[in-house]
């Protein structure tokens, strides 16, 4: 076994690899950018090497610096994790040329599967079913539009390089093809440096089912059964599970055999995933699945496979890369129970899953697994860490395993309800709602489920009077946080014949809240809320809800929902005048990719004004109302969170005249 390896990655996956390496007695070397200097993976590794500034192009994508770090520290091999350079065959060549071992497949295998169009042609030759579509080299818009018409709408435009839903657009009508193609190309170019696409038939009720495969350098290849990743939003996975619900013996046999055949056709070594699209419109049939692509690396969702098969896939990676045969034969790999993985992201589900940034002032995961279940928390952050705009906004992966699917879902919902995050917007409430969705529970799943139910899944009930009262008490210092057992830790005040009332101001979003807090003789607090709540609630300090206090804010947790209240500084000047100005600000740091209007243009509510690229995704900034553009950011501008992108003419008469003239 290797004595020292370098991990060419960051965050959650770097921490994951380090844990297995420790178990095997292998020393680890971390690499880090400026933004990650104090990160968890740096703290966990035995050594760490700085490789450059925060942008990935100047650090985690610099293969030369990573190889140099491995040589300088005496590492024998490099584990790429996933993302970044994990599927870059040129990087593999660099590693091998330096006399190091790449913990993954050969450069030839990666090249064979690296481009979706070429991979599908290869799979057709190998006898693996492929979804109908155009996978050719020609990229002229006239040709692509013609092929789309031949295939029949709706079609799916897909970047031929990369994955994660980037550079992917569904097109319902020929009139929308040109705009969708341009947008897909821009996003693909930004994410993968390659704007070429393929066009495929869009399956009406698609299930995304993938098979975990593993090969070694002795010609052996096995599968570790399937995972279902159909719960997606914007073509990105949200909750994954294993095994796939509703899977039939006939389909599992056909699909796993096709997956192993695909791996053997390219002499694959290491962990890989064969992704299939399945037409579920008439149930799961053995002749209704098609190859989509192969991921020549470890997948984000690999823990669910580990849970149901009792394996450590990272250990397998290290052993195979070190020259060992596969640890198990096909007959020795069995399924047990059901596992779910929920991806906890810093994002605002109610705002179209807009990525969020911020400091994780409070971060608490369940201390023990729900009854009857096993649980894993895979994370690369801890309380006090910041979610950076430079990288994927994942906070953690919550993984549960139980005896069957319904028990697993119950365990997932329970664990999500016990997760507490404050300081950055997180998607825990959305995940809990999805885990309780009647169709999801009933196994009526396809990749469009979240889109169809998005309004209900992202809706959060307003805070109750009790929740607001708890926030007001915490803001006033009355009582204490749940960590304190002393109800007298805060001075209540004294009056001779009546209780003392203290007035508190809070803000929930844009809503100002007034509360009056009085302490009673029995030690409980009475909180009266002004209209529109107009209610009175009594609270016993021994039953304070779960909450977190962080600079200028209070977050009260109710199940998987975190209600965050701003606590205004009474000495701070009001900024209401600034809030009333007619402007649009950047919701996050990013790059102004495309500007669609100019100064002086009259626009209507909902009209796209510009496209902001952030975290490798495109976000449309639309007009919130009718008006006339006074100023607009220029294309190519790099903006920070809160930067003014658009200003409107304040004189509404000028707006009306421009719109009419």
Token digits for 22? 């420790």
Confidence of residue 543 (pLDDT cuts 50, 70, 90): low
Q: What is the pLDDT of residue 496?
A: 47
Closest alpha carbon to 247 in 292, 300, 207, 306: 207
For every residue of 382-422, DSSP letters joined together read -TT-EE-TTS--EEEEEEEEESSHHHHHHHHHHHHHT-EEE
503 in active site = no
Q: Is 264 within 8 Å of 222 (Cβ atoms)?
A: no
Least confident of 4-18, 138-152, 389-403, 587-601: 587-601
Query: Phi and psi (nearest 5°) for 382?
Result: -140, 170
- pLDDT tens-digit readout, 55-79: 999 999 999 999 999 999 999 999 9
The whole-angstrom separation of Cα 573 and Cα 556 is 26
Least confident of 15-29, 233-247, 616-630, 647-661: 647-661
Closest alpha carbon to 365 in 383, 353, 347, 349: 383
Q: What is the pLDDT of residue 490?
A: 43
Mean pLDDT of 436-460: 96
Is the pLDDT at 49 greater than 80? The verdict is yes
- pLDDT tens-digit readout, 296-338: 999 999 999 999 999 999 999 999 999 999 999 999 999 999 9
Least confident of 451-455, 524-528, 535-539: 535-539
Rg (CA), the chain: 27
Q: What is the pLDDT of residue 324?
A: 98
- Please indicate whether residue 587 or residue 573 has the higher confidence score (pLDDT): 587
Q: Is 422 within 8 Å of 555 (Cβ atoms)?
A: yes
Q: What is the pLDDT of residue 489?
A: 42
Q: Rounded to 10 degrees, what is the CA torsion of 592, 597, 599, 600?
A: -160
What HEC string does 580-617 produce?
CCCEEECCCCEEEEEECCCCCCEECCCCEEEEEEECCE
Q: Catalytic residue, from 297, 319, 405, 413: name it.
A: 297
The whole-angstrom separation of Cα 587 and Cα 357 is 10
Rounded to two decimals, the pTM is 0.81
The strands making up 644-648's β-sheet, listed across from edge to edge, are: 583-585, 644-648, 627-632, 602-603
Is the pLDDT at 85 greater than 50? The verdict is yes
Burial 286-322 (b: 16+ CB within 10 A, else e): eebbbbbbbbbbbbbbbbbbbbbbebbbbbbbbbbbb
Is the pLDDT at 163 greater than 90? The verdict is no
Q: What is the largest CA-CA distance in the chain?
A: 91
The whole-angstrom separation of Cα 432 and Cα 437 is 9
- DSSP code at position 245: T
């Amino acid at each position: 076994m290797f004595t020292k390896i370098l991990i060419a990655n960051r965050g959650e996956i770097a921490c994951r690899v380090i844990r297995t390496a420790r178990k095997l007695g292998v020393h680890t070397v971390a690499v880090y950018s400026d933004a990650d200097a104090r990160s968890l993976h740096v703290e966990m590794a035995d050594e760490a090497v700085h490789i450059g500034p925060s942008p990935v192009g100047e650090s985690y994508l610099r293969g030369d610096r990573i190889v140099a770090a491995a040589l300088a520290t005496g590492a024998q091999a490099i584990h790429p994790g996933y993302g970044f350079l994990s599927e870059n065959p040129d990087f593999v060549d660099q590693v091998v040329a330096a006399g190091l071992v790449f913990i993954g497949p050969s450069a030839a295998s990666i090249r064979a599967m690296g481009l979706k169009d070429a991979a599908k042609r290869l799979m057709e030759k190998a006898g693996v079913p492929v979804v109908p579509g155009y996978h050719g080299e020609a990229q002229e818009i006239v040709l692509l539009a013609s092929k789309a018409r031949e295939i029949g709408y709706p079609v799916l435009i897909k970047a031929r390089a990369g994955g994660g839903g980037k550079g992917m657009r569904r097109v319902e009508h020929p009139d929308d093809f040109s705009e969708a193609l341009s947008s897909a190309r821009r996003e693909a170019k930004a994410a993968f440096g390659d704007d070429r696409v393929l066009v495929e038939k869009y399956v009406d009720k698609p299930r995304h089912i993938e098979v975990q495969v593993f090969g070694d350098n002795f010609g052996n290849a096995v599968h570790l059964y399937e995972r279902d990743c159909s719960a997606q939003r914007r073509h990105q996975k949200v909750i994954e599970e294993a095994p796939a619900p509703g899977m039939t013996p006939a389909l599992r046999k056909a699909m796993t055999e096709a997956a192993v055949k695909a791996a053997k056709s390219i002499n694959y070594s290491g962990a890989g995933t064969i992704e299939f699209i399945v037409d579920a419109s008439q149930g799961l049939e053995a002749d209704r699945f098609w190859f989509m692509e192969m991921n020549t690396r470890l997948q984000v969702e690999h823990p669910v496979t580990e849970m149901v098969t009792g394996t450590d896939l990272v250990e397998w990676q290290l052993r195979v890369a070190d020259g060992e045969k596969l640890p198990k034969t096909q007959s020795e790999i069995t399924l047990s129970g059901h596992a779910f993985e929920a991806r906890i992201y810093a994002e605002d589900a109610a705002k179209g899953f807009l990525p969020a940034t911020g400091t994780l002032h409070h971060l608490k995961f369940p201390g023990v697994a729900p009854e009857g279940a096993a649980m894993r928390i895979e994370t690369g952050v801890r309380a006090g860490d910041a979610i950076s705009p430079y990288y994927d906004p994942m906070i953690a992966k919550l993984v549960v395993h139980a005896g069957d699917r319904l028990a697993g879902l119950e365990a997932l919902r329970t664990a999500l309800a016990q997760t507490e995050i404050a300081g950055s917007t997180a998607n825990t409430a959305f995940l809990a709602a999805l885990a309780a969705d009647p169709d999801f529970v009933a196994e009526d799943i396809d990749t469009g489920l979240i889109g169809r139910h998005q309004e209900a899944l992202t809706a959060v009930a307003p805070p109750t009077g009790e929740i607001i009262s708890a926030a007001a008490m915490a803001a006033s210092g009355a009582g204490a946080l749940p960590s304190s057992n002393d109800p007298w830790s805060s001075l209540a005040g004294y009056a001779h014949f009546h209780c003392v009332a203290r007035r508190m101001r809070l803000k929930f979003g844009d809503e100002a809240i007034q509360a009056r807090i009085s302490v009673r003789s029995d030690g409980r607090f009475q909180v009266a809320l002004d209209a529109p709540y107009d209610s009175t609630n009594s609270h016993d300090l021994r039953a304070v809800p779960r909450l977190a206090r962080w600079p200028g804010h209070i977050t009260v947790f109710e199940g998987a929902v975190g209600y965050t209240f701003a606590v205004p500084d009474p000495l701070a000047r009001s900024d209401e005048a600034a809030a009333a100005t007619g402007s649009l600000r950047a919701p996050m740091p990013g790059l102004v990719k495309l500007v669609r209007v100019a100064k002086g243009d009259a626009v209507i509510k909902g009209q796209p004004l510009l496209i902001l690229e952030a975290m490798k995704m495109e976000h449309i900034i639309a007009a919130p109302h009718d008006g006339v553009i006074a100023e607009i950011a220029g294309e190519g501008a790099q903006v920070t969170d809160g930067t003014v992108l658009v200003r409107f003419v304040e004189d509404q008469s000028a707006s009306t005249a421009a719109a009419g003239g």
